Structure 1
Amino acid sequence: MKRTIKLSFVAGLAMFSASCSNFLDERSTTKLDESQVYSDVNLVETSLKGIYANWKAVRTDEQGLIMMMGTDEIQQGAFQMKSDAQKGGLDRYDGNLNSNLNHIANQWNIRWPMVNESAKIIKGLGTGDVTPGSREAKLLGEASFVRGFLDFQLAMYWGEIPIRDLSREGELGFRRQPLKDVWTFIIADLQRAADNCPKTNDAGRATAGAAWAMLGKAYMSAPVSTGLRDFAKAAACFEKMMADYSLVPYKDLWDYTKPNTTEAILEFQFSPVYPNNNKIQFQIGSRAVQAFFGDGCFYSGYDKVVPTQYAYSSVDSGGIWEPGDQRRFESIRYDFTYYGETPTLDPIRWEDLGNDFDELLPHVKKYEDFRTDKHADNKINNMWNSGKNIPVLRLADVKLSYAECLNELGRTPEAINIVNEVRTRAWGGVLPDERKWKTLSQDAFRTAIMDERMRELFAEDWRRIDLIRTGKFVEYVKARNKWTKLSGTIKDFNTIFPIPDTEMKLNGDITPADQNPGYN
């Protein structure tokens, strides 16, 4: 991380030169020191745009799926497990999940430059008085949001992490800090973001609504041991922003002609044109479909991840789906018939997977993009160019989170009413009486809400965090993820990831003695 951080300012200047040529014609940033750069709102604006571009890149291609793997919702495809033993450790939780696994190191490394660049903006703009509502305040709020969001993820995935507060760099160094300090820092960042981000903003950029939503998530996710978990504060945060958004028909969320709906709090902006495509379909589509119909079928791909049986099955088959829930067929593809022709496994029998062939079992559907199909008017003819927007935060997630908070506060009947609002949308606006949640105990609600969040947020990159914060990670993954169950090697310490070996070699403040317990 230290080497990455030292280079980030150079990267930032390169980013400026690529994005702000007219401005640089008048003033060369290469002659400025950091204090000048990060106190200049024009240069900060350009830097922040670069941060957003790099942040949305985290959710593209295969790297955008790594944190979904190894849960009770998503697992790797069978051929992927057979052909890549190291990555298979992400689902088996065996010896391949270790500090040398590049896929985990990449997830650590792609986030830190954005954290550090945001930290420089915060220091540069925060050295003097910032006028509320000013451009400086807006940029300070957005940088605080990005750092807070990314630190939230890093802390959920790795536990203790370095704190990049550049005003205290001499004190903090690059060491991992105690969890209470880390979460205090995250909460402070998100509170600053909530106080300073604008109510409305360009699509893909942070707003006060997004900041309040993430602050609420931080209060309900902070480890109990920190003393910072506070469901009352979390609920109050959600109450400050929910009224500014509204639910839309579920299918509209996945309609590429209707981006940034009134439900969207934050979406990463993509299109089916390189380099702004997200490449997700290439990874989540069916290998059997690809072999049969080619890359020009918009739901072909390479089975890098597939739904677990629990995530795609009906309730009467031991899964989550109830009759009439419209989310099921918007979220998951069950039928692979293409223009009247049904593919078979014959072209891929060479994979020799025995009973593990899953190329024609249910697949993730949410990110399919018909614009890439050979029958579409766009003439793109390749699913690699998939480019639907990817939701980061949306109202239904917040409503279900709010309901959790109400339940924890002893207000379970109110919590049930909130959940039924989301479920009503899932049944097209009229929720049958037998599908309404009615009387539940507080503990029964805790179990039921986890299934409801899977139905609503399937493959939206929240499941790992949900499992960790509720203490259900090992129990549910071991029972529902095929590869984890077969391996039988998952342990409690696998709830968080190992610190990458490359980080320990490059960062003198993190040594093998600082490794998370259970890993080497």
Structure 2
Amino acid sequence: MIRTIKFAVVAGCIILSASCSKFLDEPSVTKLDQDQVFSDPELIETSLKGIYSNWKAVRTDEQGLIMMMGTDETQQGAFQMKSDPSKGGLDRFDGNLNSTQNHITNQWNIRWPIVTEAAKIVRGMSATTVTPGSREAKLLGEASFIRGFVDFQLAMYWGEIPIADPARADQLGSGRQPLKDVWTFIIEDLQRAADNCPKTNDPGRATSGAAWAMLGKAYMSAPVATGLRDFQKAATCFEKMMGDYTLVPYQDLWDYNKPNTKEAILEFQFSNVYPNNNKIQFQIGSRAVQAIGGDGCYYSGYDKIVPTQYAYSTVENGGVWEAGDLRKDQAIRYDFTYYGQVPTLDPILWEDLGNDYDELLPHVKKYEDFRTDKHTDNKINNMWNSGKNIPVLRLGDIKLCYAECLNELNRVGAAVNVVNEVRTRAWGGTLPADKAWVAMSQDAFRTAIMDERIRELFAEDWRRIDLIRTGKYVELVKARNKWAKQNGSIQQFNTLFPIPDTEIKQNPDINPEDQNPGYH
């Protein structure tokens, strides 16, 4: 036994030493490897499949929840806030939210290989003459879409970012670039995607509709300071694609028997079979339910994110939900009774959370997958295998974006009509007169549409971006996120994340003085 322990210690030291050496030798994830630039369609197709797989992985397991923490819509569960101070900083906005925060580093690191790999394809295909409508054009469009989409997220979360353009690698290096240059590059990518992606494609792959939708989002999200925010151009982009999709009953969007509905513009494709399961429910179910139903209860889990009180409450109780809105019970679980058993907090009182227990407060419901329950015939018996598709883009979202654009173009009446189309679906096809939006001021619409986007898109990973692009992030998070409100330390600079310390150390073109203001 002593020899075994000594061996384990020696082995551990060797591994640790190797890991440290690997870290010191590890290149920056933003650095482009120009030794391989793709031009062969077969090689590109293989590479694209890998890129899609890596991109889909961004929305799996716990990493798929990180960007939903720290908003006014969802926040971390109480036990996690107590047991993991570092991650707790994502909602408390305290000193734990810094450049060494592992979860922020991971979000940066998992995106850049997707961007740089797609960049090689764009470079390779752009170096040749691509015939419109050809297979090569399709591949160029898809790679441009992926790079544009992920760069869009990176720029929203971190501000100035490197530009992964092999054609200008010597000029740009791997340093952060001015916001106008970054957003110009994103818009060019998404325009190229719109021009070259096919109208229809295999499920989970980019189409021209997805590209037009994201190009519209880019025009309405680009920072005002860049001069690129243009609501008319955004509206035109949405008009080019909305007619190709149809709103479906809201419950169909969350029915695993009905993937890729007529409303779906892009969905990440998952199943209950490892490694294609998304594991989301394993993270977001209730630990109090797990105490009675075990892993084989399809809505048990670990409370990693829960709705804020604002996001789960009725209007009468200071929240967003109106009587009769069918989206409420599709989006959020209120009842935790499991086959006649009513869970209590008794089994988890050891957590010692005082008044902060939230394991039986409302939870995210959209990603529950009954196929994983021990009472089904699937014999999966573990919510770790949750495998419903995850929506990336859908028509309900784009209609609300379009309505925002119309409002900003002083077409408030038309904007109200579009919102009422979405709300009609939310009331099962017949919108009660007292629930229909009526004429309002432009500023009142701006406030109302943010609540409507919670109702329509709760926990679909758009809220942080919505808050940032509208300039409402700090104001609304401070007012509605329990942990941010308790701590009281959120500041305007928290709108952006810190550049990871590892990136600064590994990237010769990003120095400590390049860090986002407010962070160390």
TM over 0.5: yes
Cα separation, 2, equivalents of 1:339 and 1:185: 53
Cα separation, 2, equivalents of 1:247 and 1:407: 21
Q: Note the residue ranges of structure 2 that are not aligned, 5 or more in a row.
A: 1-25
Q: Counterpart amino acid of 1:380?
A: I
Q: Does 1:34 align with 2:59?
A: no
Q: Counterpart amino acid of 1:489?
A: S
Alpha-carbon offset, residue 273 of structure 1: 1.1
1:321 maps to: 321
1:438 maps to: 438
Alpha-carbon offset, residue 4 of structure 1: 3.3
What SS does structure 1 have at the residue aligned with 2:282?
Answer: helix
Alpha-carbon offset, residue 470 of structure 1: 0.2
Q: Does 1:227 align with 2:227?
A: yes
Alpha-carbon offset, residue 340 of structure 1: 1.1
Cα separation, 2, equivalents of 1:7 and 1:484: 38
2:23 maps to: none
8 A contact 1:287–1:301 mirrored in 2: yes
Q: 1:240 to 1:55 in 2, by over 3 A?
A: same
Q: Counterpart amino acid of 1:122?
A: V
2:375 maps to: 375
Q: Counterpart amino acid of 1:111?
A: R
What SS does structure 2 have at the residue aligned with 1:407?
Answer: helix
Give CA-to-partner distance per residue, 1:312-370, whole Å, 9 cap, x none. 00000000000000000000000000111111111100000000000000000000000
Cα separation, 2, equivalents of 1:489 and 1:335: 34
Give CA-to-partner distance per residue, 1:87-141, whole Å, 9 cap, x none. 0000000110000001000000000001000000000111021100011100000
Q: Does 1:177 align with 2:177?
A: yes
Give CA-to-partner distance per residue, 1:367-407, whole Å, 9 cap, x none. 00000000011010000000000000000000000000000
Q: Does 1:292 align with 2:292?
A: yes
TM-score, length-scaled by structure 2: 0.94
Q: Counterpart amino acid of 2:455?
A: R
Match runs of 1:297-312 below 5 Å = 297-312=297-312
8 A contact 1:268–1:389 mirrored in 2: yes
What SS does structure 1 have at the residue aligned with 2:461?
Answer: coil
Cα separation, 2, equivalents of 1:39 and 1:163: 21
1:416 maps to: 416
Give CA-to-partner distance per residue, 1:137-174, whole Å, 9 cap, x none. 00000000000000000000000000011100000000
Match runs of 1:131-150 below 5 Å = 131-150=131-150
Q: Does 1:4 align with 2:29?
A: yes
Q: Note the residue ranges of structure 1 that are not aligned, 5 or more in a row.
A: 10-32
1:113 maps to: 113
What SS does structure 2 have at the residue aligned with 1:483?
Answer: helix
Cα separation, 2, equivalents of 1:417 and 1:226: 31
What SS does structure 2 have at the residue aligned with 1:294?
Answer: helix
8 A contact 1:8–1:113 mirrored in 2: no
Cα separation, 2, equivalents of 1:466 and 1:34: 37
Alpha-carbon offset, residue 496 of structure 1: 0.4
Q: Counterpart amino acid of 1:34?
A: Q
Match runs of 1:32-111 below 5 Å = 34-35=36-37, 38-111=38-111
What SS does structure 2 have at the residue aligned with 1:299?
Answer: coil
8 A contact 2:86–2:96 mirrored in 1: yes
Cα separation, 2, equivalents of 1:383 and 1:339: 16
Q: Does 1:163 align with 2:149?
A: no
What SS does structure 2 have at the residue aligned with 1:240?
Answer: helix
What SS does structure 1 have at the residue aligned with 2:105?
Answer: helix
Give CA-to-partner distance per residue, 1:292-319, whole Å, 9 cap, x none. 1101000000000000000000000000
8 A contact 2:204–2:268 mirrored in 1: yes
Query: Identity, % of aligned pairs?
Result: 79
8 A contact 2:99–2:498 mirrored in 1: yes
Cα separation, 2, equivalents of 1:385 and 1:226: 44
Q: 1:122 to 1:205 in 2, by over 3 A?
A: same
